[in-house]
A = this chain, B = another copy of it.
Amino acid sequence: MSVILEMSIFPMDKGMSVSPYVARALGIIRASGLEHRLGPMGTCIEGQWDEVMAVAGDCLRDLQQDCERVYLNMKLDWRRGGDGRLDAKPAAVLDKLGG
């Protein structure tokens, strides 16, 4: 029974250009092998609770190495029997709109 986790993570002490840190987090997400989608304001990851939270924790620990303050925003959607929803959810919305 998988969940979708959307996460955004960035340091608060490194100035306004945080993409190098976001890239490190995305590298960790990629290395996890979990399905994910990068977006303008965060990355959605699908997997079991333990899997996706382990990835989020790895991202935080990575940034803790050289950052003094880190902000992490997450929202999570669990639905019984729901799998493969990273594409199915937006597809269902578009379908209702007539494509």
Chain A residues with a Cβ under 8 A of chain B: 1, 3-4, 6, 8, 10, 12-13, 15-16, 18-20, 22-23, 26-27, 30, 37-42, 44, 49-50, 53, 57, 60-61, 64, 68-80, 85-87, 89-90, 92-97
Contact = CB atoms under 8 A, between A and B. Distances in A.
B39 A44 contact: yes
A75 B10 CA distance: 12
Q: State the main secondary structure of chain A at its contact with B.
A: mixed
A41 B75 contact: yes
Copies in the complex: 4
Given A37-B40, A75-B41, A78-B64, A93 B16 contact: no
A46 to B, nearest CB: 8
A94 B53 CA distance: 22
Contacts of A12: 10, 12, 15-16, 18
B39 A37 contact: yes
